[in-house]
Amino acid sequence: MDMCRYMKTLTTRILILFSFLYCFSGLSARENIINKGNEVASDSASVSRHGIYAGAGMGYNMIYMGTSLSQGRPYYSGGLTYGFNNTLYASANVFHLNVYDPLVSFSSFSLSYNHTFNSWFDIALSGSRYQVNKSLTDTLFTSFFYIDGTLGFDWKILYTKISAGGILSESSGLYFQLRNSRYFETPEFLNGKAYFSFDPYVNLLFGTLTEMKDGTTVVTPPFGRGRSGGGGSSETTTKFSLMEADFGLPVTFNMGRFSISAEPGYVIPLYSDETSSDPGRFIFNMGLFFKIY
């Protein structure tokens, strides 16, 4: 009976993983996969301006805007993305966090525009809606919109992204990110059908923090709602400050329309949150990606 119960639980988690079709944390890997897919498509005789991408993801310790949403536990994610002319993308995603009971903890819907001006400069604009499960609004976060703009500079040795964005919800917040990365690929193998790509990065995140009367600093809601003093007291002030530094090494195996990525990383909080005893946080995520059309 225990074995049956175990197999049922395992099967349920596998179904969660493969019914969810997109990975939350592998954004840089996803962009490289989508771009490469369009490059491959452009080599064919009949070039399509449309693309549909699917994927499934899982990982450990989902950290978003300075807050560990999964609280150091596993998570699963998935979704679909539609791309037009390698410029405009619309995506829908769902996420399951093991620390909570609902099958879908929250979902997101995004629209983004990318434009490359020349070999060294590009821009991106995006808007997203994050919709949390109603039963988790008091513990996870409240639903919100996030809009941002990004400037990209290719220095050949490094690729720099400067992003500025804002959260629109019951408590608004501003965020600024400075990311440096170095993308490179291995020579092709398996008769030119496969290769590995790497995109190591260093990222600095600045954002709006809430300082309590006792000097404790916490992430401003909608995040960190379930934490002690997470913005519920009137004796608070807000400030814009450096929040964290993070490092990662996304590695992707690419073959035709299919890619699989793995990203280990480490996040170092840079604000004095006395409610957390963890001086640094390890993260890991994996994603399966497939270009359907």
Mind listing the pLDDT tens digit for each residue in 32-45?
Answer: 444 444 444 334 43
Q: What is the pLDDT of residues 148-169, one digit of tens each?
A: 999 999 999 999 999 999 998 8
pLDDT digits (tens, 9 = 90+) for 14-29: 444 444 433 333 344 3
Compute the distance between CA of residue 145 and CA of residue 62 in angstroms, rounded to an integer: 19
* 1/222 Cα distance (integer angstroms): 43
The answer to which of 91-95, 187-191, 214-218, 276-280 has the lowest mean pLDDT is 276-280
Mean of all residue pLDDT scores within the chain: 80
Task: State the Cα–Cα distance between residues 238 and 105, nearest whole angstrom.
Answer: 28
* pLDDT at res. 70: 86
Please say if the pLDDT value at position 191 is more than 60.
yes
Give the single-character DSSP code of 100: S
Strands 236-248 and 258-269: antiparallel
Neighbour count for residue 210 (Cβ, 10 Å): 22
Length of the chain: 293
pTM of structure? 0.78
pLDDT of residue 58 exceeding 60, the answer is yes
Average pLDDT over residues 244-255: 95
Which pLDDT belongs to residue 31? 47
Can you read off the two tokens belonging to residue 188? 């092709």
| pLDDT for the residue 32 | 46
Residues 6 or more apart in contact with residue 41 via CB below 8 angstroms: 47, 48, 51
Q: What gap in Å lies between CA 31 and CA 28, rounded to an integer?
A: 5
Q: Which residues contact 46 (CB under 8 A, 6 or more apart)?
A: none
218 or 166, greater pLDDT: 166
Helix, strand or coil for residue 170?
Answer: coil
CA-based radius of gyration for the chain:
20
CB 18 within 8 A of CB 55: no
Neighbours of 30 (CB within 10 A): 25
- Rounded Cα distance between 53 and 48, Å, is 14
Higher pLDDT, 117 or 269: 117
- Domains of the chain as residue ranges with CATH: 2-291 (2.40.160.40)
For residue 274, which phi and psi values (nearest 5 degrees)?
Answer: -75, -10
User: Taking residues 220-244, what's their average pLDDT?
Assistant: 65
For residue 10, what is the enclosing H or E element? helix 2-19
The pLDDT of 93-113, averaged and rounded, is 94
Alpha-carbon distance of 228 to 245, in angstroms, equals 24
